[in-house]
Chain A
Amino acid sequence: MGAVKAEVSTRVLRVAGPLVEVEYTEGAAMHDLVFLGEAGLPGEVVAISGGIVTVQVYEYTGGLAPGNPARPGGGPLSARLGPGLLGGIFDGLLRPLSGAGDWLVPGAARGVGQDRSWSFAPRVREGARVSEGEELGEVVGAGPVRVRVLVPPGAGGVVERIAGEGGYPQDAVVAVVDGTEVRIGTTWPVRRPRPVRERGGEPAVLSTGQRVIDLLFPVAHGGTVAVPGGFGTGKTVLLQQIAKWCDADVIVYVGCGERGNEMADVIAELPELDDPRTGGRLADRTVTVANTSNMPMMAREASIHTGATVAEYFRDMGLDVVVIADSTSRWAEALREFASRTGELPAEEGYPAGLASAIAAFYERAGAVTTLGGERGSVTVIGAVSPPGGDMTEPVTAHTERFVRCLWSLDRDLAYARHYPALSWSGSFSRDVAALGARQAAVGDPAWPARRARVAALLAEADRLADLVDLIGITALPDQERVSVLAGRLVREGVLQQSALSARDAYCAADKTAALVDAVLTVVDRCRELVDSGVPAAVVEDVDFEPVLRAREEVGPHDSEGVAVRRDAMLARLREVR
């Protein structure tokens, strides 16, 4: 957490809970860390005025008194980044929770696990010329993720010294590049995005293995998603499914203001989860930041920035990273509390006027980039939003919607009807549909845009008719519209529903999704032909559609052949209808 300049010291003037005023001293800059009292409680400078520095403290300040020493930290809140992050569980300031006891006592030094040694393998020779972001060496045997030691941003030149193969602790200097010491681990200020060479480039689909997402509301690597959903809409399960199945290299899970028992569940289950991509444990490529609602408010505020910084660290190694923040509403709650404590005038519902820009800034840390070292990497941000009372017009939800590329809105009625994932097709959007559709078409699935368009249109039509049916009954509809209602049901039950608990269907590959959609659409077309040829809609509705409805459960995640077999069985069944 930044180098400590012990020689400069000042004293505390005023303490009001987490808000502390100290005398100004040289070396205290805005957003710098300050350590307070004998215990060295960390805090952050939030205002400097008239010789007084206002500090927001990350810990409980009981016992802190005027006259106690205060020590500028000499830099902003920084995260210690290194290979030890993977598989670890940390608080909002990225201090490992494994080193703490049953209760989190303020100011207590927490074991950081720095004594562990990492096996380093150099990838350049002394005398070579390197520029910023390029690889100097690799940490071997750290797990499924290839962790690399890079030339830090701003450095570059001749490699003056490089360590040989061997074990080194995280803080050991393993290279010197033009006078700059490079260690296995590094530190970075959490509120400052790590630099990149260039943002943007060809979009690539982040495959989540969840049909409704991959089919209707796809997200790009480097995209941003908000997931609003009230209590009991299956948000946690959906986010876990994405963490488990998406094709990212590293997952950063930020539990921000979560309930302690829920966090305990996540922590208890994570080591149990197998990693379908590597065959190892999912935990080995996951970094968990846990800041429950009763942990200090300022650390909760910092936690999502901490998470983004960890993600960028791995991105710079040329990896695809997904950050899952659950929930950004709790983070906004911290902003609100913080604003109220500093006496800021409240804007909407007591949130500070800067809420919208704070949300925007967080989501802006996502992106697909060319790293300083010239490789492709990405950070995808998925933020859960918990609208109080399901009110989608409240400030956090309303502002978040404006800044994200995708909105996966979870619907209570669907959850109630046990339609999981309860992702509402009418309330969600993806602004990358066109770009990703073109991309899918270019990489071998030319039918993708048309397939998605048909499913979306079909669902919209079925929804419109469903309202009508509630009023006048199904029998009052013309036969073609009755087929549309039926088609809506087939798409919902045969394609969109997906059980997280199913052994075969928890994950669904793109080819199986395509096959399922094609099967349902073919069956729907056949039903239309039947009705056109004079078969009453009631007869068609009475057909048992079980082969296409059960196909998703019965065949494996890549088995598009199996889907085709069931489609043909269904078509055969329909041929007998007259």
Chain B
Amino acid sequence: MSDDCRSASSIWGDVEYTAIRELRGPLAVVEGVTGVGWDEFVRITLESGEQRHGLVLEVDRGLAVVQVLEDTTGMDPRGIRVAFTGGPLRIPVGPGWLGRVCNGRGDPIDGGPPVFGHTSVAVGGSPINPLRREPPSEPVLTGVGAVDALTTLVRGQKLPVFSTAGLPHLELAAQIAAQSTAGGESFSVVFAGMGLTHPDASFVRDALEERSAAGELVLLLNTADDPVIERILTPRLALTIAEELAFTSGRHVLVVMSDMTSYAEALREVSAARGEIPARRAYPGYLYSDLASLYERCGRLRGRPGSVTVLPVLTMPAGDITHPVPDLTGYITEGQIVLSRETHALGVYPPVDALSSLSRLMRKGAGPGRTRADHLDIAAQLLAALARARQVRELADLVGEAALSPTDRRHLVFEEAFLRRFVDQRRDQSRPLDQTLETAWQVLLTLPRSQLSMLPAALLDAHGAREDPGAEEEDSGENSERSMEYGERSMEYDERGAVE
């Protein structure tokens, strides 16, 4: 996978080509080339001396079609010199990346020197031999209660966040990036921002500052006004850096990639410029394989320490989950965390739609010996009760709450408690798993014991489950006051948890 170190000056061939036949969109067509291979990395020198970079998308006899990462704006076909590296784009890898902030091409924007590494590797990566993969089995704890309890992230998993415009997905991604840990083992985060606005980019920098200062973070930021095509490179750099940190240096690495919809749009732009036959919604037909070549770089390897966990964030255009980007992503990834506009409107953060969210590897990474013995039962019971509560809610909208059975009414109380006490948490609050699960218990105990059939009787006894949990409150009419008081108490507890 690695290669001898080569200094930056020696990788360029001696030959520079000057015949540019065509400039169109992000593409430059170079004439008269010989021996240029597909996917080679290209350096373009403008007359002004400015340097740009590109990748060979196609070679047809003496013609090379180059995708210019910095875009073709301001390029005049005369006076351009093009040099080919004779190989794919390689970047130096190693712990030198930790603590650095770079743009989407990997050039520092933190005022520091270029990043050096002991070896350089091709950014395209190679598929992991399925036979050499170790099935994921340990959790990454994010400190976000709803995620840890209901869609546990597992080391080596790829778990996307599906969101829509206007929802705090970037806040959630940044919070997960800032707080995640791997049970005391060495942990690092590579955050790849694609098409972020400047306020978003500076938000991410601020939110992750602590982690960066601790030398646990690599930040690659491609902003919305940065060249669009550069975004095609950004996740590949991030994953290449992560693979080395994980499988050579033995760290557990979380790669956050936001926003994958912006990435796919860059891909579409290149495809359109090449005149390829468009597939669904004009995305190229190879979108599935392209996304798979990114997402599938997560995992663990037999006999090697470390893991790469991938958390792509994507906004579904117009909230459409059947849009090609979320649809194909869902095909490849192991579950999804879905954010909901309705929950967001209630002022709950993170606005996770628990019933639509799923971590397919949770059974492997949570439960006895992984997190806590009662974890999976609690999660199953929460989801079952929530599903019932949603049905009841629909019924209540039709017939009115007064017409509901007492059990049904308890489910409405449960849903409220679930959102306000269990899901809702502060954006800078890291909730320990024990506290998350204890809160889950409190929320579940708002239901009559007979409704908690997925929990073992011994645990129900230990937690004092009752058949008439809301009886006194309803009798005395102090329902709202009492729960308010309770809420404040648990808030205090939360803060203590955050300090620890």
Q: Which residues of B contact A103 (CB under 8 A)?
A: 1, 125-129
**A294 near B62: Cβ-Cβ < 8 Å:** no
**Chain A proximity of B395: nearest CB distance (Å):** 11
Chain B contacts with A in 286-330, Cβ cutoff 8 A: 286, 288-289, 292-293, 295-299, 301, 304, 321-322, 327, 330
**Which A residue's beta carbon lies closest to that of B293?**
A294
- How does the 8 Å CB contact mask read for B242-281 relative to A, with 1 for contact and 0 for none? 0000010000000000000000000000000000110110
**Which of B127, B157, B297: most chain A CB closer than 10 A?**
B127
Q: Which residues of B contact A9 (CB under 8 A)?
A: none
**Which of B59, B130, B279: most chain A CB closer than 10 A?**
B130
Stretch with Cβ within 8 A of A (4 or more), from B132-140, B143-151, B174-182: B132-140
**B127 near A292: Cβ-Cβ < 8 Å:** yes
Kindly state the separation between the CA atoms of A293 and B298 in the bound complex, as whole angstroms: 13
Whether B82 sits at the interface, judged by CB under 8 Å, is: no
Whether B441 sits at the interface, judged by CB under 8 Å, is: no
Q: A260-B296, A292-B296 are in contact. Are A15 and B129 (CB under 8 A)?
A: no
Kindly state the separation between the CA atoms of A100 and B124 in the bound complex, as whole angstroms: 19
Kindly state the separation between the CA atoms of A362 and B267 in the bound complex, as whole angstroms: 33
- How does the 8 Å CB contact mask read for A83-95 relative to B, with 1 for contact and 0 for none? 0000001000000
**B124 near A389: Cβ-Cβ < 8 Å:** no
> Which listed residue, A259, A292, A339, touches B285 by the CB 8 Å rule?
A339
**Which of A60, A100, A330, A341: most chain B CB closer than 10 A?**
A60
**Chain B proximity of A126: nearest CB distance (Å):** 42
Q: Which residues of B contact A340 (CB under 8 A)?
A: 276-277, 279, 284-286
Q: A62-B38, A62-B88, A290-B130 are in contact. Are A389 and B358 (CB under 8 A)?
A: no
Q: Which residues of B contact A231 (CB under 8 A)?
A: 330, 335, 358, 360
- How does the 8 Å CB contact mask read for B16-58 relative to A, with 1 for contact and 0 for none? 0000000000000000001111111000000000000000011
Number of interface residues of A (CB under 8 A): 64
**A263 near B130: Cβ-Cβ < 8 Å:** yes
Whether B193 sits at the interface, judged by CB under 8 Å, is: no
Kindly state the separation between the CA atoms of A66 and B58 in the bound complex, as whole angstroms: 10
Q: Which residues of A contact B277 (CB under 8 A)?
A: 340, 343-346
- How does the 8 Å CB contact mask read for B104-141 relative to A, with 1 for contact and 0 for none? 00000000000000000010111111111111100000
Q: Which residues of A contact B129 (CB under 8 A)?
A: 97, 100-104
Interface of A is mostly: mixed
**Which of A60, A66, A292, A344: most chain B CB closer than 10 A?**
A66
Q: Which residues of B contact A333 (CB under 8 A)?
A: 288, 331
**B130 near A260: Cβ-Cβ < 8 Å:** yes
Q: Which residues of B contact A61 (CB under 8 A)?
A: 38-39
**Which of A17, A21, A103: most chain B CB closer than 10 A?**
A103
Chain A contacts with B in 321-372, Cβ cutoff 8 A: 330, 333-334, 336-337, 339-341, 343-346, 349-350
Whether B350 sits at the interface, judged by CB under 8 Å, is: no
**B288 near A337: Cβ-Cβ < 8 Å:** yes
**B279 near A346: Cβ-Cβ < 8 Å:** yes
Name 23 A/B residue pairs within 8 A (Cβ), A-sorted: A15-B59, A16-B38, A16-B57, A16-B58, A60-B124, A61-B39, A62-B87, A65-B59, A97-B129, A103-B1, A105-B126, A255-B130, A261-B133, A261-B136, A267-B133, A290-B131, A294-B127, A337-B289, A340-B285, A340-B286, A386-B331, A388-B322, A388-B330
Contacts from B to A (Cβ < 8 Å)? 1, 34-40, 57-62, 86-88, 122, 124-136, 156-157, 247, 276-277, 279-280, 284-286, 288-289, 292-293, 295-299, 301, 304, 321-322, 327, 330-335, 358, 360-361, 364, 387
